[in-house]
Amino acid sequence: MKTLPMINNISKPKFNLASREHQGEDTIINVKGVKIGGDHMTIIAGPCAIENEYQMITTAKAVKAAGATMLRGGAYKPRTSPYSFQGLEEEGLKLLKQAGDITNLPTVSEVISTETFDIVEAYVDILQIGTRNMQNFPLLKRAGQSKKPILLKRGMAATIEELLMAAEYIMSEGNHQVILCERGIRTFETYTRNTLDLSAVLAVRKLSHLPIIVDPSHATGQHDMIEPLSKASIITGAHGLMIEVHYQPEIALCDGPQSLKTDDFHHLMRELFFLHDHHLQLKRQIRD
């Protein structure tokens, strides 16, 4: 009787620092008083791309009022086409910082190269490494030398194991403040932009002590799927969410169809607080 070996697994990678075996307790990261991981729920919201002062400040105030705990905004945009809007770069970072100062929210923005790492690091509180760079190893190593937390998104065709190996790259350079992010994987399905893999949240919580959040905006590409999948993520055990919000999605320069309006975000936040409280109560009952 014959069983096939899995040839593509001959040389399986291994992770150590990121594993539960290495550290049993959940990692909790503190950014200007906002805690990520463990029993804390982190909601990162803001526009896909920073477009101008009015857009950034208006959206920032709205998400703050709704209860978001961090502010996002893209200044360096990785775009499939060289002819698409590539972001405001340093000008955008300044606007994000300004919006963060006004609202007293820590900020998150994507860094897409080692060359621009210093400048992004200077302006923001958490540096995001995007899905296309999950295996950009020089960038991971540079992130490992930073003193600031890194938000590492799963590659669109990366296994859970490869995601944890990418975290290991950052940690092996000395930076243990890594937040993972499930953002949908590429499958044969064409109705949604990607396929959200919520079981990855459970797998990461079992295998690793690192916090993991979910990005429902990129996972689906559809604004009307964000609310239900955000709630599903929190109930599943995600440590938080990253959600694209725009004060007027119809005029967004980037990803308008998957952006939430500020009113809808406000409504969603109330739900998330309720579900997260319920989730924690239940967890405590089980512990006792």
* Choice between 58 and 159, CB closer to a copy of itself: 159
Residue 210 to residue 207: CA distance in whole angstroms = 9
Instruction: Out of 187, 277, 280, 284, name the contact with a copy of itself by CB under 8 A.
Output: 187
Count of residues that bind a copy of itself according to CB under 8 A: 88
CA distance 204 to 211: 8
Q: Does 23 bind a copy of itself (CB under 8 A)?
A: no
The piece of 35-43, 44-52, 120-128, 185-193 that touches a copy of itself (CB under 8 A) is 185-193
Which CB atom, from 32 or from 278, has the smaller least distance to a copy of itself? 278
Give residues 113-132 in contact with a copy of itself (rule: CB under 8 A).
Answer: 113-116, 132
* Residue 227, CA distances (Å) to 35, 239, 258, 267, 279 in order: 23, 16, 11, 9, 17
- 42, 59, 220, 262: residue in contact with a copy of itself (rule CB under 8 A): 220
List of E strands, 78-230: 107-110, 126-129, 150-153, 178-182, 212-214
Minimum distance, C-beta of residue 247 to a copy of itself, in the bound complex (Å) = 21
Among 221, 261, 266, 273, binds a copy of itself (CB under 8 A): 221
CB 48 within 8 A of CB 259: yes
Residue nearer to a copy of itself on the CB measure, 106 or 144: 144
CB atoms within 10 A of CB 79: 12
Which secondary structure element, helix H or strand E, spans residue 111, and what is its range? none
Q: Which residues in the 133-162 window bind a copy of itself by CB under 8 A?
A: 133, 135-139, 141, 155-157, 159-162
Contacts of a copy of itself in 53-112 (CB under 8 A)? 78-84, 112
Beta pairing class for 107-110 and 70-72: parallel
Tell the smallest beta-carbon distance from residue 72 to a copy of itself (Å): 20
- Beta strand 70-72 pairing with 42-46: parallel
Binding to a copy of itself, residues 223-262 (CB under 8 A): 224-225, 228-229, 231-233, 235-237, 257
Minimal distance, residue 9 CB to a copy of itself, in Å: 7
The reply to whether 269 sits near a copy of itself by the rule CB under 8 A is: no
Q: Which is nearer to a copy of itself, 71 or 140 (CB)?
A: 140
Give the H or E element holding residue 145: none
Interior/surface letters 195-225, b for 16+ CB within 10 angstroms, e for the rest: ebbbebbebbbebbbbbbbbbbbbbbbebeb
